[in-house]
Amino acid sequence: MSKREETDANKPIASKQSEVTVQPPSHAATKFEYLRAIDPAPKIRAEVLADGIFAVAMTILVLDIRLPPVTGDMSAAHYLNSVLALWPKLIVFVASFIALTRLWQLHRNIFHFLDRSDQQLLFWNLLGLMFLCLLPFTTSLAGEHPRFSLSAAMYAGNVLMLNLVYRGMWHHASHQNELLRSDLDPAIRYVITRAFNVDFVLILVALALSYLDSLLSIGMIVVHQLVMFFGPPMFRGRQV
Protein backbone atom coordinates (compact mmCIF):
# COMPACT_ATOMS: atom_id res chain seq x y z
CA MET A 1 0.00 0.00 0.00
CA SER A 2 1.33 3.42 -0.93
CA LYS A 3 1.77 6.26 1.49
CA ARG A 4 -1.10 8.10 -0.14
CA GLU A 5 -3.44 5.16 0.37
CA GLU A 6 -2.37 4.89 3.99
CA THR A 7 -3.13 8.55 4.47
CA ASP A 8 -6.56 8.19 2.91
CA ALA A 9 -7.31 5.17 5.09
CA ASN A 10 -6.51 7.12 8.24
CA LYS A 11 -8.69 10.10 7.34
CA PRO A 12 -12.03 8.62 8.52
CA ILE A 13 -10.45 7.66 11.83
CA ALA A 14 -9.06 11.14 12.32
CA SER A 15 -12.33 12.75 11.38
CA LYS A 16 -14.21 10.51 13.82
CA GLN A 17 -11.78 11.38 16.56
CA SER A 18 -12.20 15.07 15.86
CA GLU A 19 -15.98 14.72 16.11
CA VAL A 20 -15.72 13.46 19.70
CA THR A 21 -15.86 16.71 21.69
CA VAL A 22 -16.69 17.45 25.30
CA GLN A 23 -20.00 19.25 25.68
CA PRO A 24 -19.82 22.40 27.80
CA PRO A 25 -21.91 22.44 31.00
CA SER A 26 -25.47 23.55 30.64
CA HIS A 27 -26.32 27.11 31.63
CA ALA A 28 -29.50 25.84 33.29
CA ALA A 29 -27.60 25.12 36.49
CA THR A 30 -27.88 27.88 39.04
CA LYS A 31 -26.30 28.60 42.35
CA PHE A 32 -29.27 26.85 44.00
CA GLU A 33 -28.90 23.73 41.89
CA TYR A 34 -27.38 21.86 44.84
CA LEU A 35 -30.85 21.76 46.37
CA ARG A 36 -31.93 19.54 43.46
CA ALA A 37 -28.73 17.52 43.27
CA ILE A 38 -30.26 14.63 45.21
CA ASP A 39 -33.20 12.83 43.68
CA PRO A 40 -36.48 12.84 45.60
CA ALA A 41 -36.04 10.54 48.57
CA PRO A 42 -38.33 8.78 51.05
CA LYS A 43 -40.02 11.12 53.52
CA ILE A 44 -39.84 8.93 56.63
CA ARG A 45 -36.67 10.45 58.10
CA ALA A 46 -38.07 14.00 57.91
CA GLU A 47 -41.29 12.85 59.59
CA VAL A 48 -39.45 11.04 62.40
CA LEU A 49 -37.21 14.03 63.10
CA ALA A 50 -40.18 16.42 63.18
CA ASP A 51 -42.20 14.15 65.48
CA GLY A 52 -39.30 14.02 67.94
CA ILE A 53 -38.84 17.82 67.96
CA PHE A 54 -42.57 18.40 68.39
CA ALA A 55 -42.66 16.02 71.35
CA VAL A 56 -39.68 17.70 73.03
CA ALA A 57 -41.05 21.23 72.46
CA MET A 58 -44.45 20.28 73.87
CA THR A 59 -42.79 18.82 76.96
CA ILE A 60 -40.48 21.79 77.54
CA LEU A 61 -43.44 24.18 77.54
CA VAL A 62 -44.63 22.98 80.94
CA LEU A 63 -41.21 23.25 82.58
CA ASP A 64 -41.56 27.02 82.87
CA ILE A 65 -44.61 26.70 85.14
CA ARG A 66 -43.01 26.62 88.58
CA LEU A 67 -44.07 27.76 92.02
CA PRO A 68 -41.79 30.06 94.00
CA PRO A 69 -39.87 28.35 96.81
CA VAL A 70 -42.23 27.17 99.56
CA THR A 71 -41.02 28.06 103.04
CA GLY A 72 -41.93 26.28 106.23
CA ASP A 73 -43.93 29.20 107.61
CA MET A 74 -46.02 29.70 104.44
CA SER A 75 -49.74 29.71 105.20
CA ALA A 76 -52.35 27.85 103.17
CA ALA A 77 -53.77 31.16 101.93
CA HIS A 78 -50.35 32.34 100.77
CA TYR A 79 -49.77 29.02 99.05
CA LEU A 80 -53.16 29.28 97.31
CA ASN A 81 -52.32 32.80 96.12
CA SER A 82 -49.00 31.55 94.74
CA VAL A 83 -50.77 28.85 92.75
CA LEU A 84 -53.43 31.24 91.46
CA ALA A 85 -50.73 33.70 90.41
CA LEU A 86 -49.60 31.16 87.82
CA TRP A 87 -52.75 31.64 85.72
CA PRO A 88 -51.08 33.83 83.02
CA LYS A 89 -48.43 31.17 82.47
CA LEU A 90 -51.05 28.42 82.38
CA ILE A 91 -53.17 30.24 79.82
CA VAL A 92 -50.22 30.95 77.52
CA PHE A 93 -49.02 27.38 77.99
CA VAL A 94 -52.39 26.03 76.82
CA ALA A 95 -52.36 28.35 73.78
CA SER A 96 -48.81 27.37 72.82
CA PHE A 97 -49.50 23.67 73.32
CA ILE A 98 -52.56 23.96 71.08
CA ALA A 99 -50.51 25.91 68.50
CA LEU A 100 -47.94 23.10 68.46
CA THR A 101 -50.72 20.52 68.23
CA ARG A 102 -52.26 22.24 65.22
CA LEU A 103 -48.88 22.64 63.56
CA TRP A 104 -48.17 18.97 64.11
CA GLN A 105 -51.51 18.11 62.55
CA LEU A 106 -50.75 20.31 59.53
CA HIS A 107 -47.27 18.80 59.26
CA ARG A 108 -48.79 15.31 59.42
CA ASN A 109 -51.38 16.18 56.76
CA ILE A 110 -48.80 17.67 54.41
CA PHE A 111 -46.52 14.65 54.63
CA HIS A 112 -49.50 12.32 54.32
CA PHE A 113 -50.20 13.74 50.87
CA LEU A 114 -46.58 13.37 49.73
CA ASP A 115 -44.99 10.36 48.09
CA ARG A 116 -41.44 11.54 48.73
CA SER A 117 -39.37 14.56 49.79
CA ASP A 118 -36.62 16.60 48.17
CA GLN A 119 -33.87 18.91 49.41
CA GLN A 120 -35.98 22.07 49.36
CA LEU A 121 -38.71 20.38 51.37
CA LEU A 122 -36.10 19.31 53.93
CA PHE A 123 -34.89 22.91 54.11
CA TRP A 124 -38.39 24.18 54.92
CA ASN A 125 -38.85 21.38 57.43
CA LEU A 126 -35.63 22.18 59.30
CA LEU A 127 -36.36 25.92 59.25
CA GLY A 128 -39.75 25.25 60.79
CA LEU A 129 -38.19 23.10 63.50
CA MET A 130 -35.83 25.95 64.40
CA PHE A 131 -38.74 28.33 65.11
CA LEU A 132 -40.53 25.46 66.79
CA CYS A 133 -37.70 25.08 69.31
CA LEU A 134 -37.89 28.83 69.97
CA LEU A 135 -41.57 28.73 70.98
CA PRO A 136 -40.99 27.59 74.61
CA PHE A 137 -38.77 30.65 75.13
CA THR A 138 -41.25 33.16 73.70
CA THR A 139 -44.06 31.41 75.59
CA SER A 140 -42.08 31.95 78.79
CA LEU A 141 -41.73 35.66 78.02
CA ALA A 142 -45.44 36.05 77.32
CA GLY A 143 -46.43 34.18 80.47
CA GLU A 144 -43.88 35.77 82.80
CA HIS A 145 -44.04 39.36 81.51
CA PRO A 146 -47.34 39.73 79.62
CA ARG A 147 -47.58 43.49 80.21
CA PHE A 148 -44.48 44.27 78.15
CA SER A 149 -45.02 44.95 74.45
CA LEU A 150 -41.76 43.23 73.58
CA SER A 151 -42.93 39.98 75.16
CA ALA A 152 -46.17 40.05 73.18
CA ALA A 153 -44.37 41.02 69.97
CA MET A 154 -41.82 38.21 70.27
CA TYR A 155 -44.54 35.68 71.05
CA ALA A 156 -46.77 36.78 68.17
CA GLY A 157 -43.76 37.05 65.87
CA ASN A 158 -42.67 33.52 66.69
CA VAL A 159 -46.12 32.13 65.94
CA LEU A 160 -46.24 34.18 62.72
CA MET A 161 -42.87 32.83 61.54
CA LEU A 162 -44.07 29.29 62.14
CA ASN A 163 -47.09 30.00 59.98
CA LEU A 164 -44.96 31.48 57.19
CA VAL A 165 -42.40 28.67 57.20
CA TYR A 166 -44.94 25.86 57.12
CA ARG A 167 -46.90 27.80 54.55
CA GLY A 168 -43.75 27.93 52.42
CA MET A 169 -43.25 24.19 52.85
CA TRP A 170 -46.82 23.49 51.72
CA HIS A 171 -46.46 25.89 48.77
CA HIS A 172 -43.33 24.05 47.61
CA ALA A 173 -44.88 20.61 48.13
CA SER A 174 -48.15 21.46 46.38
CA HIS A 175 -46.35 22.90 43.33
CA GLN A 176 -44.04 19.93 42.85
CA ASN A 177 -46.18 17.25 41.23
CA GLU A 178 -43.47 14.62 41.57
CA LEU A 179 -43.73 14.96 45.37
CA LEU A 180 -47.52 14.76 45.72
CA ARG A 181 -49.58 11.61 45.66
CA SER A 182 -51.22 11.03 42.30
CA ASP A 183 -54.65 10.49 43.88
CA LEU A 184 -54.67 13.79 45.82
CA ASP A 185 -58.06 15.49 45.87
CA PRO A 186 -57.63 19.06 44.49
CA ALA A 187 -60.00 20.34 47.19
CA ILE A 188 -57.43 19.42 49.83
CA ARG A 189 -54.99 22.01 48.50
CA TYR A 190 -57.61 24.69 49.01
CA VAL A 191 -58.51 23.52 52.53
CA ILE A 192 -54.90 23.54 53.77
CA THR A 193 -54.12 26.89 52.12
CA ARG A 194 -57.25 28.41 53.68
CA ALA A 195 -56.16 27.23 57.13
CA PHE A 196 -52.81 28.97 56.67
CA ASN A 197 -54.51 32.16 55.44
CA VAL A 198 -56.86 32.41 58.45
CA ASP A 199 -53.99 31.95 60.90
CA PHE A 200 -51.80 34.43 59.03
CA VAL A 201 -54.33 37.27 59.12
CA LEU A 202 -55.24 36.87 62.80
CA ILE A 203 -51.66 36.47 64.01
CA LEU A 204 -50.57 39.47 61.94
CA VAL A 205 -53.28 41.55 63.64
CA ALA A 206 -52.10 40.28 67.03
CA LEU A 207 -48.53 41.30 66.18
CA ALA A 208 -49.69 44.81 65.29
CA LEU A 209 -51.70 45.05 68.51
CA SER A 210 -48.66 44.08 70.61
CA TYR A 211 -47.36 47.66 70.34
CA LEU A 212 -50.69 49.08 71.51
CA ASP A 213 -51.91 46.58 74.10
CA SER A 214 -49.75 43.56 74.93
CA LEU A 215 -52.46 41.79 76.93
CA LEU A 216 -54.95 42.16 74.10
CA SER A 217 -52.39 40.82 71.64
CA ILE A 218 -51.61 37.72 73.70
CA GLY A 219 -55.29 37.24 74.50
CA MET A 220 -56.17 37.32 70.81
CA ILE A 221 -53.70 34.52 70.07
CA VAL A 222 -55.02 32.50 73.02
CA VAL A 223 -58.65 32.83 71.95
CA HIS A 224 -57.81 32.08 68.32
CA GLN A 225 -55.96 28.89 69.21
CA LEU A 226 -58.77 27.73 71.49
CA VAL A 227 -61.44 28.37 68.85
CA MET A 228 -59.47 26.68 66.07
CA PHE A 229 -58.66 23.66 68.23
CA PHE A 230 -62.10 23.04 69.72
CA GLY A 231 -63.98 24.16 66.60
CA PRO A 232 -64.90 21.92 63.67
CA PRO A 233 -62.04 19.76 62.39
CA MET A 234 -60.18 20.90 59.30
CA PHE A 235 -60.94 17.69 57.44
CA ARG A 236 -64.55 16.96 58.31
CA GLY A 237 -65.55 13.53 57.16
CA ARG A 238 -62.08 12.71 55.77
CA GLN A 239 -59.78 10.04 57.05
CA VAL A 240 -56.26 11.47 56.89
**CA–CA separation, 238 vs 240, rounded Å?**
6
> pLDDT category, 7, cuts 50, 70, 90?
low
pLDDT of residue 27: 47
Q: What is the mean pLDDT of residues 58-65?
A: 88
User: Which of the given ranges, 35-49, 105-119, 201-215, has the highest pLDDT on average?
Assistant: 201-215
Q: Is 100 a member of any domain?
A: yes
The per-residue pLDDT for 29 is 47
Report the 10 Å Cβ neighbour count for 40. 16
* Of 28, 45, 49, 43, the residue nearest 179 (C-alpha): 43
230 within domain boundaries: yes
Model confidence at 100: pLDDT above 90: yes
Listed ranges 3-17, 171-185, 187-201; the one with the highest mean pLDDT:
187-201
At 205, the pLDDT band (50, 70, 90 cuts) reads very high
Kindly state the average pLDDT of the residues 53-81.
83
Residue 119 lies in a domain: yes
Instruction: Tell me whether residue 215 is in a domain.
Output: yes
Residue 64's pLDDT is 82
Whether residue 172 lies inside any domain: the answer is: yes
Domain with 125 in it: 87-234
Segment among 169-178, 191-200, 222-231 with least mean pLDDT: 169-178
Tell me how many domains the chain contains. Answer: 1
Q: By the 8 A CB rule, do 113 and 180 touch?
A: yes
Q: What is the pTM of this model?
A: 0.74
CA nearest to 228, candidates 57, 108, 106? 106
Whether residue 76 is contained in a domain is answered as no
Does a structural domain hold residue 206? yes
* Whether residue 108 has pLDDT greater than 80: yes
Confidence of residue 13 (pLDDT cuts 50, 70, 90): very low
